[in-house]
A and B are shown apart, each in its own frame.
Chain A
Amino acid sequence: MILDATVITQTLAAATPVLLVATGAVFGERVGVINIGLEGLMVFGALTAVVVSVATGSPFLALLAAAGAGVLGAAVFAAFAIWLKRDQVIVGTTINFLAFGLTGVWYRAYLNGFGAGKTATELPDLIGQGAGGVDALTLLAFALVPAAHYLLFRTRLGLTIRATGEVPEAASAAGTQVNRLRALVTLFVGGLCGLGGAALSIGIANSFTEGITGGRGFVALAVVVFGRWNPVGAMGAALLFAAADVLQFTLQARNVWAGLPYPVFLAVPYVLTLVALAVRGAKGKSPAALGTAFEQG
């Protein structure tokens, strides 16, 4: 029997990093900003969480620091992409390589320094234990979904965010400081990316490795499209990805189709993401002003 309670909790845990980032990215894209650098911000948050957790022994301080690291990285993105109006895709790509490089150097320095031989304090489970446990970040990620939906569709702030991503001139005429709003949302998304990274490093793996994010920042971008720029839709898509991830892991662990090379299993969630995008992605319509700079008149 593959389907037991631990499969469900494992799926929730596996969905957490993608969901946190995707919820943020829904807001980012709705306000008109496409940030390809989500992956890099996640890596940044993942390592920061481990280092702070080891240094302080407090996983909650580690979460705070990870969010801070994400905000910091997003500030760099905002400075170039929004303030200086550079191409968002290029700035985002640069942020990724910057994050991969910096965390690589930092991680080696940490391993040879005070981090030698130590393990991070893991995020404790609030409900259940071990494989059946659910930690604070998972609760936060899923609690954020209805809150995000409410904010986006049932408040003036959300309405302004949606209008800004569609016709920034109209939002501006209505009194919105378009670039300031975009920058603030970008920082918020950065914070969620940092938490998403922490969910991997001190939530699931309890350690940092290079390449820990495994493209989940990019998957989050696909999840946003698949979820039609809607937090609830994004949650569904994130769960689908996570279920595939847990499935491939379970299949490997139980030696089902053991003859297949393991990368085939690893590829399952990503192939599924591609298929999902192919089936559903074309129908969605992205915010009209996505990725464009706004000149305040």
Chain B
Amino acid sequence: MIGVTAVVLAARNITRRFGTFTALDAVNFAVGEGEIVALLGENGAGKSTLMNVLSGSLAPSDGTILMDDKPVRFASPLDAASRGIGMVHQHFLLVPTLSVAENLLLTASRRAGGALSYNIKGVLKDAQILAGRLGWTIPWQTLTGDLPVGTQQRVEILQALRGQTRVLIFDEPTAVLSPTETPELFATIRRLSDEGRGIVFISHKLDEVLALSHRVVVLRRGKVVFTGETRNLDERILAEAMVGADSDAAVLLQAPPGVTTTAAPESAVAKKALHVEAVTVRVRGASKAGETKSGAGTAPLLPTALDAVTFAVEPGEIFGIAGVDGNGQEELAAVLSGLMRPASGTVQIGGVAPPVNAAAFRRAGVAVIPADRQARGLAMPLTLAENVALGVYDSPEYRVGAVLKWRKLRERADALVKRFDIRGGGVNTSVLALSGGNQQKVVIARALSGSPRVIIAVNPTRGLDVGAIAYVHNALRQARDNGAAVVLISTELSEIQSLSTRRVAVLFAGKIAGIVAPDASRETFGLLMGGKRLKETTAVA
């Protein structure tokens, strides 16, 4: 396609930095008239950053945006929109309490009238012509929040298609859709491309990319690592390009020799330390979003965040849970920590299901290293001693009635500071003053200090430097050697592969797509993470 049609929108050597972090590194990208370009990449690869730059939400740190081969600068999303760049957001920017028509008028261009005008009929007429051409029936006077998600997306598309929209960007548009709505969206996208509009389709689902696009661009760690015409591609090629072999990380994360073979202590109870049986979690507010206003016809499709997830972890095992972010990891972590009650299914610790609250899970022996240490793991302004006191202060050892024995708590904190090598401050230092790595050490010190039976670690090395990563990995290995059952939920595949003892489950769309050995090929992982259920996965019981 490219070369045949004129390039409408192009990025030339676009770099975008956030502080010291480079989200986009000299990226080149182009979309032509009538061309459907898929932008593929793992979470955090830079897809959204690139699209935000191209749609005027972010200014590039370096590089040029070209329209019709002429350099342009977008002052705002509105500016980009007025020049013909439309964006269909993953999280719709619609006002649920306004009708469809009102939403359309809200985002109509200034040409539709001034502040004191109310040209809703004119705006509606334009939208109706467009909707007619796309073969849509839309209840214009219904409150947008009462519509099914697929229809809301159509409204969002109509908003993005104002005036002479020449390039339309879809940010993970199928993420919110039900299986029946997705083909309809694809038909729409094809029709828009037939009208000569350039389409950018962001996704991490390989089958969708192959079915829809003319060309694929793969981003990894802020760089374009692969470009190819879709007709020459298959899932294997794309999976490899997407996951890639990251030699630096692989070397760094190599387990010390001999450690991986450590077997579970013989003394450990034969009983599984953690047993998760058919856990299902519905998306919050799903019943509302899934219902159609008419209520007629088939049963509403309830999106599930977790769908009958079953697994068991033995003492002395690190059980990896891999997957692209947003496929149920957050909900699984919440269920395993006792923070969320599943719609159905059970979680047993040592054969007993504790009541669903975080304190009961903690008493049952579950320690949690949460994904967001600053929001969930620590009370940032409080001191180190206060932070590690959380969770043990109710023990009679540390209190007399309601009065805490601060001297004992501080002594304990001091011992943990030494044992876990926490640097940058003493027990009376606010954790705000610590570096990210040392903050994580505080979280880990608190989690591991009570010799837990089960450890739930969620992206435990996110945002840490190399030294801190090695430290966290060793801490988890030690806990495993001491007989803990560790569930490692991480989007870093290399981390999962190097730490997991013998099994890795891959989550996709709330389901376990497969359980494979940690040394399974990256291609296998890529396919599982992209939603392909392997028939002959190297099943490990």
Q: B93 touching A167 by the CB < 8 A rule?
A: yes
Q: A159 touching B94 by the CB < 8 A rule?
A: no
Q: Is A171 an interface residue (CB 8 A)?
A: yes
Knowing A166-B96, A170-B95, the reply to whether A159 touches B102 (Cβ < 8 A) is: yes
Q: Chain B's interface: helix, strand, loop or mixed, by majority?
A: loop
Knowing A163-B98, A166-B98, the reply to whether A171 touches B118 (Cβ < 8 A) is: no
Report which of B78, B98, B114 forms a contact with A156, defined as CB distance below 8 A.
Answer: B114
Counting chain B residues whose Cβ lies within 8 A of the other chain, the interface size class is: 20 to 34
Chain B residues 112 to 159 lying within 8 A of chain A, measured CB to CB, are 112-119
Interface string of A268-297 (1 = CB under 8 A from B): 000000000000000001001000000001
Interface string of B82-105 (1 = CB under 8 A from A): 000000000001111110001101
A residues near B116, Cβ cutoff 8 Å: 151, 155-157
Q: B115 touching A157 by the CB < 8 A rule?
A: yes
A252 to B78, CA, bound (A): 61
Q: A297 touching B98 by the CB < 8 A rule?
A: no
A residues near B107, Cβ cutoff 8 Å: 170, 173-174
Q: Is B77 an interface residue (CB 8 A)?
A: yes
Q: B95 touching A173 by the CB < 8 A rule?
A: no
State the Cβ distance, B245 to closest chain A Cβ, in Å.
36
Q: A166 touching B113 by the CB < 8 A rule?
A: no
A173 to B56, CA, bound (A): 11
Knowing A154-B118, A170-B106, A174-B107, the reply to whether A159 touches B93 (Cβ < 8 A) is: no
Q: A159 touching B98 by the CB < 8 A rule?
A: yes
Q: Is B76 an interface residue (CB 8 A)?
A: yes
Q: B106 touching A163 by the CB < 8 A rule?
A: yes
Interface string of A136-175 (1 = CB under 8 A from B): 0000000000000001001111011011001101110111
A175 to B107, CA, bound (A): 8
Chain A residues 161 to 195 lying within 8 A of chain B, measured CB to CB, are 162-163, 166-167, 169-171, 173-175
Q: B117 touching A167 by the CB < 8 A rule?
A: no
State the Cβ distance, B59 to closest chain A Cβ, in Å.
12
Q: B97 touching A166 by the CB < 8 A rule?
A: yes
A159 to B118, CA, bound (A): 9
A171 to B191, CA, bound (A): 29
A residues near B348, Cβ cutoff 8 Å: none
Q: B117 touching A173 by the CB < 8 A rule?
A: no
Output the residue of A175, A285, A288 with the most chain B CB within 10 A: A175
A residues near B102, Cβ cutoff 8 Å: 159
State the Cβ distance, A174 to closest chain B Cβ, in Å.
4
Q: Is B57 an interface residue (CB 8 A)?
A: yes
A173 to B76, CA, bound (A): 9
A residues near B96, Cβ cutoff 8 Å: 166-167, 288
State the Cβ distance, B539 to closest chain A Cβ, in Å.
45
State the Cβ distance, A272 to closest chain B Cβ, in Å.
29
State the Cβ distance, A285 to closest chain B Cβ, in Å.
8
Q: B117 touching A155 by the CB < 8 A rule?
A: yes
Knowing A157-B115, A159-B98, A166-B98, the reply to whether A175 touches B76 (Cβ < 8 A) is: yes
Q: A163 touching B118 by the CB < 8 A rule?
A: no
Q: A167 touching B118 by the CB < 8 A rule?
A: no
Report which of B76, B106, B114 forms a contact with A159, defined as CB distance below 8 A.
Answer: B106
A197 to B102, CA, bound (A): 36
Q: A156 touching B117 by the CB < 8 A rule?
A: yes
A residues near B57, Cβ cutoff 8 Å: 297
State the Cβ distance, B454 to closest chain A Cβ, in Å.
38
Q: A156 touching B118 by the CB < 8 A rule?
A: yes
A156 to B116, CA, bound (A): 6
A187 to B77, CA, bound (A): 28
**Closest A-chain residue to B117, C-beta based?**
A156
A95 to B118, CA, bound (A): 36
B residues near A154, Cβ cutoff 8 Å: 118
**Closest B-chain residue to A176, C-beta based?**
B106
Report which of B77, B95, B113, B117 forms a contact with A163, defined as CB distance below 8 A.
Answer: B95
B residues near A174, Cβ cutoff 8 Å: 78, 106-107
B residues near A171, Cβ cutoff 8 Å: 95, 106
Interface string of B57-81 (1 = CB under 8 A from A): 1000000000000000000111000
A207 to B95, CA, bound (A): 46
A residues near B112, Cβ cutoff 8 Å: 156
State the Cβ distance, B189 to closest chain A Cβ, in Å.
21
B residues near A160, Cβ cutoff 8 Å: 106, 115
State the Cβ distance, B107 to closest chain A Cβ, in Å.
4
A residues near B105, Cβ cutoff 8 Å: 156, 159
B residues near A166, Cβ cutoff 8 Å: 95-98
A171 to B105, CA, bound (A): 11
B residues near A288, Cβ cutoff 8 Å: 96-97
State the Cβ distance, B33 to closest chain A Cβ, in Å.
26
**Closest B-chain residue to A162, C-beta based?**
B98
Interface string of B221-236 (1 = CB under 8 A from A): 0000000000000000
State the Cβ distance, A168 to closest chain B Cβ, in Å.
10
A residues near B77, Cβ cutoff 8 Å: 173
A174 to B104, CA, bound (A): 10
Q: B94 touching A170 by the CB < 8 A rule?
A: yes
A residues near B98, Cβ cutoff 8 Å: 159, 162-163, 166
Interface string of A92-127 (1 = CB under 8 A from B): 000000000000000000000000000000000000
State the Cβ distance, B114 to closest chain A Cβ, in Å.
7
State the Cβ distance, B389 to closest chain A Cβ, in Å.
29
Knowing A155-B116, A156-B118, the reply to whether A167 touches B78 (Cβ < 8 A) is: no
A166 to B105, CA, bound (A): 16
State the Cβ distance, A57 to closest chain B Cβ, in Å.
37
A5 to B195, CA, bound (A): 69
B residues near A157, Cβ cutoff 8 Å: 115-116
Output the residue of B93, B96, B105, B106 with the most chain A CB within 10 A: B106
State the Cβ distance, B169 to closest chain A Cβ, in Å.
13
**Closest A-chain residue to B58, C-beta based?**
A297
State the Cβ distance, B287 to closest chain A Cβ, in Å.
18
Interface string of B482-503 (1 = CB under 8 A from A): 0000000000000000000000
A163 to B57, CA, bound (A): 20
A residues near B118, Cβ cutoff 8 Å: 154-156, 159
B residues near A155, Cβ cutoff 8 Å: 115-118
B residues near A173, Cβ cutoff 8 Å: 77-78, 93, 107
A160 to B57, CA, bound (A): 20
Output the residue of A154, A163, A297 with the most chain B CB within 10 A: A163
A154 to B96, CA, bound (A): 18
**Closest A-chain residue to B105, C-beta based?**
A159
Interface string of A225-237 (1 = CB under 8 A from B): 0000000000000
B residues near A169, Cβ cutoff 8 Å: 93
Chain A residues 69 to 105 lying within 8 A of chain B, measured CB to CB, are none
State the Cβ distance, B417 to closest chain A Cβ, in Å.
36
Knowing A156-B115, A159-B102, A159-B106, the reply to whether A175 touches B78 (Cβ < 8 A) is: yes
Chain B residues 348 to 379 lying within 8 A of chain A, measured CB to CB, are none
**Contacts A156-B113, A160-B106, A171-B95 supplied; 13 other A-B pairs, CB < 8 Å:** A154-B118, A155-B115, A156-B114, A156-B119, A159-B105, A160-B115, A162-B97, A167-B93, A167-B96, A170-B106, A174-B107, A175-B76, A288-B97
Chain A to chain B contacts (Cβ below 8 Å), 8 pairs: A155-B115, A155-B116, A156-B112, A156-B118, A163-B98, A166-B97, A167-B95, A170-B103
Residue numbers of B with Cβ under 8 A of A are 57, 76-78, 93-98, 102-103, 105-107, 112-119
Q: Which 9 A-B pairs have the closest CB atoms?
A: A157-B115, A175-B78, A170-B93, A174-B107, A163-B95, A167-B95, A173-B93, A166-B95, A155-B116
